[in-house]
Amino acid sequence: MRAAVNATFAHISGGPGLGLFTHVALYQTEIAVRAILGEPGPDAHYRALPQVTFTDPEVGSVGLSEHAAREQGLRVQTGTTQLPSSTCGWIHKAGNEGLIELVEEADRGVLVGATSIGPVGGEVLYGLAVAIQAEVPIERQRHMIYAYPTFHRAVKAALTDLRRA
């Protein structure tokens, strides 16, 4: 029994500091149930672990912070844009405070972390989470179409800021 439990936990383990979130519990449950039933599927990985704090403005983040990425020994670049200077921020007027910050692993040219603060900071996080999960090259992200005028379009400005150096 103990061996079976340990084997199941091995499928979902991710080290300390994962965060006690409902979406983590649900994600781990799916994998544990699959493992118990002997069904195929990937083990857990937490590269694109998101979290949202429902303050005003909302604070969403996914993956590594700049500090955590540097702690892991990664060569890091960051790109930032202020939401009020985006078109959607300008249209929104009062309550448009926020920013988008991107953390790039410079050697691989992919995002490893992002923070999205703003009126719908948690929603804007989705595209960034996909980019981190799928390791979409930053150059590819820079040459895609961002709907106008949306808050997520500010991601394009943050990607441009990554290349300022």
Ligand X SMILES: Cc1cc2nc3c(=O)[nH]c(=O)nc-3n(C[C@H](O)[C@H](O)[C@H](O)COP(=O)(O)OP(=O)(O)OC[C@H]3O[C@@H](n4cnc5c(N)ncnc54)[C@H](O)[C@@H]3O)c2cc1C
Total residues binding ligand X (CB under 6 A)? 5
Rounded Cα gap, residues 146 and 148, in angstroms: 6
Residue number with CB closer to ligand X (21 or 90): 21
> Is 133:123 a contact under the CB 8 Å cutoff?
no
**CB of 32 vs ligand X, minimal distance in Å:** 11
**CB of 61 vs ligand X, minimal distance in Å:** 13
Radius of gyration (C-alpha) of the chain in whole angstroms: 18
Q: Which residues pair with 50 in a beta bridge?
A: 62
Residue number with CB closer to ligand X (63 or 79): 63
Kindly list the distances between the CA atom of residue 32 and the CA atoms of 19, 45, 47, in Å, as whole numbers in the listed order: 18, 13, 19
Residue number with CB closer to ligand X (61 or 77): 61
Residue number with CB closer to ligand X (30 or 139): 30
Coil, strand or helix: which one is 132?
A: helix
> Site residues for ligand X, window 18-77 (CB under 6 A)?
20-23, 25
Q: Residues in the site for ligand X, rule: CB under 6 A?
A: 20-23, 25
